[in-house]
Amino acid sequence: MTNPIPPRLSGIMTALVTPFKNGVVDHDTLAEHIQWQILSGIEGLVPCGTTGEAPTLSWDERLKIIRTTVRVSKGRVPVIAGTGTNSTELTVAYTSAAESCGADAALVVTPYYNKPSQNGIAHHFETIAQRVKLPIFIYNVPSRTGADLSLQTLDRLAQIPSIIGIKDATGDMRRVDEVRHTFQNRFILLSGHDATAHAFNLTGGNGTISVIANVLPHVCVAMHNACRKNDWPTARYIQQRLQPVLSALDLDTNPCSIKSALKHRRGMSDELRLPLVPVSEETAHQIRLALDELGGPAAGGQIPQDNVKTDAVEGLSKMLSAPLAWRL
C-alpha cells in the first residue's frame, strides 16, 4: 500500500479564481494570472474548483478554462482540473473531457446535496475510476457537501490505483495523522484549508491547494519551503503573519473575499456569478487593511521573489520578533 509521491503532484498549488468581464469568462486576465502564479513559484494549478465558481460554469466554459490553464502553463506545473459534481454520470463526462484537454489529474469532490451513504460515495469514485484513466484526487469538504469521507471508505478506495490523493478541507489535524498512519504513503495528502496548512504539512501532508495563494503566492511558497525543511519556527511565523488576512477573507464566502483581495492587490475585477455577490464595503475595507498591514514598510527580512522556487527565507526563524515586508 506504499507508493512513491510523484513530485509534480505535490507542493503548493493555487485554487484558481475564474475572472469574469460583463458576465463572460475573461481568458486574457486568467492567462495573466496563471503566468504570475507560475513565476511566483507556485507548483500546481487547480482550475474549476470551488474557488473557480465551478457550479455556475457551463460545459463549454469549463473546458475552455482548463484548456487556457494547460496552454499557459506549458507543462511547467501540473494542472489538476476540478471535475466533481453531485451526478456520477456528469462527473465521468467532465473528467473525461479534462483528460482530453490535457489536464494532469482531476479533483473530484464527494457528491454534495444528495447526501449519499458511504457505500454510495465509494460507488461514485469506483465508477469514475473505471471509466476514466486520469489520476484522481478525492476532495473532502463536508462543510460544503454535507457528506464526510470515512477511513473505511478510504480503505476501499485505496485499492484503486488511479485514486492517488486526497484534498482535505476539514481543518482537522487528526485527519492527516490518521490517514498517514493508516495508509502510509499510499495517498498524496493535500490541505484544502489555508488556516491550518502549515500544521497539516508539518504533520505529514504533501502540500496545499490554496485559496490565499491567488493573492500571496510567494508567501505561500516560502511557507511550504519551510515545511519541506521541517523548519517549524519559520512556517509558524509566516502562518502567524498570514492570519489577519485569513481572518479578513473569512468575513465572506470563498471566492467572494479572494476576488476582493485580488481587486485591491492586482487590479482584477471582483465580478462574481449569482448567487454570489461582491463583498460589502466594510468587508472589502477589512481585507484591504489586512493586506496592507502584511505588506507594510520595509523592515526585517524579505522574501527574494526571484528565488522563491528553490529557497525558503534563510534565517527567518532567527528574527521572529521583527516585522516582515512581503514584496508583492
Q: Which of these, 204, 77, 177, 78, lies nearest to 137 by C-alpha position?
A: 78
Degrees, nearest 5: CA angle 136-205-109: 30
Residue 167 annotated among the catalytic residues of the structure? yes
Phi, psi values for residue 117, rounded to 5°: -70, 170
C-alpha cell at 154: 478510504
Q: Which of these, 234, 173, 226, 231, lies nearest to 204 by C-alpha position?
A: 173
DSSP single-letter state for residue 52: T
Catalytic residue among 94, 139, 259, 263: 139
Residues contacting residue 134 through CB under 8 Å, at least 6 positions apart: 95, 96, 98, 99, 103, 105, 106, 162
| Number of neighbours of residue 125 by Cβ within 10 angstroms | 25
Catalytic residue among 167, 237, 259, 263: 167
Phi, psi values for residue 277, rounded to 5°: -135, 160
How many angstroms separate the CA atoms of 167 and 109, rounded?
9
Q: What is the DSSP string of 61-102?
A: HHHHHHHHHHHHHTTSS-BEEE---S-HHHHHHHHHHHHHTT
**C-beta separation of 186 from 3 below 8 A:** yes
Residue 112 annotated among the catalytic residues of the structure? no
How many angstroms separate the CA atoms of 105 and 123, rounded?
20
Query: Could you give the residue numbers annotated as active site?
Result: 139, 167
